[in-house]
Amino acid sequence: MLGVIRQHNPGDRTAAVHSEDFYEVYFGLGHSLRLQDRPGVFKVSPAGLSLGDVLVRTLDRSVLEGSVLDMGTGSGALALLMRSLGARDIVATDVSIPALKTAAENEQLNFGDQIVRFDSGSLFQSPAADRRFDLVVFNPPGWRTPSADCRRELRQQGLADLELSAMFSGEEVLLGFLRDLPDHLTDTGRAVVGLNSMTGIQDVLRRLGGPAGSAGPLEFRLIERHSFPLFLYTREWHASRQVLTREFHHWKEHHGAAFSIAGDGTLYWSYEIVECRLARRGEKRRADG
């Protein structure tokens, strides 16, 4: 039986159609991919589809002719989308070896050969990512680091450490990424990053060392924002809703996490696609040095 995942926005063009072993993702302008549905490898989410849609609409030839990094590639969807758009110098990294294996197989499935360099490592610690790029794409984990009590309760309800690490610690991952990003962008390079309001975005920017819109050597521009309902994709996550909701309210009160709850009890969070560039004053400091 086929199911369809669509963005919350009415009239959105991106969609993922699922079958038993494979699913298809469509990003617009004829760019579609067939991906393997593998245990332990996250499917492309509505947020990931939105990020891909932005890439289709905004990437021009000058960017695609440069160097591209897809960080946390997962199934490889965004790296393969950028290949479909015309990129050729593509690095895709992930901490999960099974995910990288699936991503490489997905490239063969869709293109019949391999040009993407898949490499393992956390953030820029992968050997292939230790260079400067014209474009970095990153869709980091979306939830904050859970309290010890929350983590213990989730484990008791059958959620493994791997699932927890993939869903949580978003603010720490994002902070580490943004701190290292200036050393991995070309002077005219940019990063396109999907931010989840559940991380407490302003908390991250304050810890990075700058006010809203500017943090140290980086400048930020909001490209677009979407509102999505909270999606708990397994029986174990559904069983943990009460634990999670209690933790979410703690994040909102103490760390600036942002969400709203509708009259029917559905929680909606904000997915914010942001462009990061080197600040002009940062470039001047390097030139003066």
Sorted by sequence, the CB contacts under 8 Å of residue 246 that are 6+ apart come out as 150
Q: In this structure, are residues 74 and 20 in contact, taking their beta carbons and an 8 Å threshold?
A: no
Residue 167 tokens read as 């869903």
* 166 band by pLDDT with thresholds 50, 70 and 90: low
Phi, psi angle pair for 154, to nearest 5°: -65, -40
pLDDT given for residue 81 in this prediction: 98
Fold of 44-288: Rossmann fold (3.40.50)
Among 28-37, 212-221, 233-242, the range of highest mean pLDDT: 28-37
pLDDT given for residue 20 in this prediction: 61
What rounded mean pLDDT belongs to the chain?
A: 85
The closest alpha carbon to 192, from 78, 25, 55, belongs to: 55
Return the residue matching tokens 């997962």.
Answer: 74
Residue 86 tokens read as 């015309």
Tell me the domain boundaries of the chain: 44-288
Q: What is the 3-state secondary structure (H, E, C) of the chain?
A: CCEEEECCCCCCCCEEEECCCEEEEECCCCCEEEEECCCCCCCCCHHHHHHHHHHHHHCCHHHHCCEEEEECCCCCHHHHHHHHHCCCEEEEEECCHHHHHHHHHHHHHHHCCCCCEEEECCHHHCHHHCCCEEEEEECCCCCCCCCHHHHHHHHHCCCCHHHHHHHCCHHHHHHHHHHHHHHHEEEEEEEEEEEEHHHCHHHHHHHHCCCCCEECCEEEEEEEEEEEECCCCCHHHHHCHHHHHHHHHHHHHHHCCCEEECCCCCEEEEEEEEEEEECHHHHHHHHHC
**For the whole model, what pTM was predicted?**
0.84
Q: For residue range 213-233, list pLDDT tens digits in order.
A: 445 689 999 999 999 998 776
* 278 band by pLDDT with thresholds 50, 70 and 90: very high
Q: For residue range 171-206, list pLDDT tens digits in order.
A: 999 999 999 999 999 999 999 999 999 999 999 998
* pLDDT above 70 for 288: no
* pLDDT above 80 for 135: yes
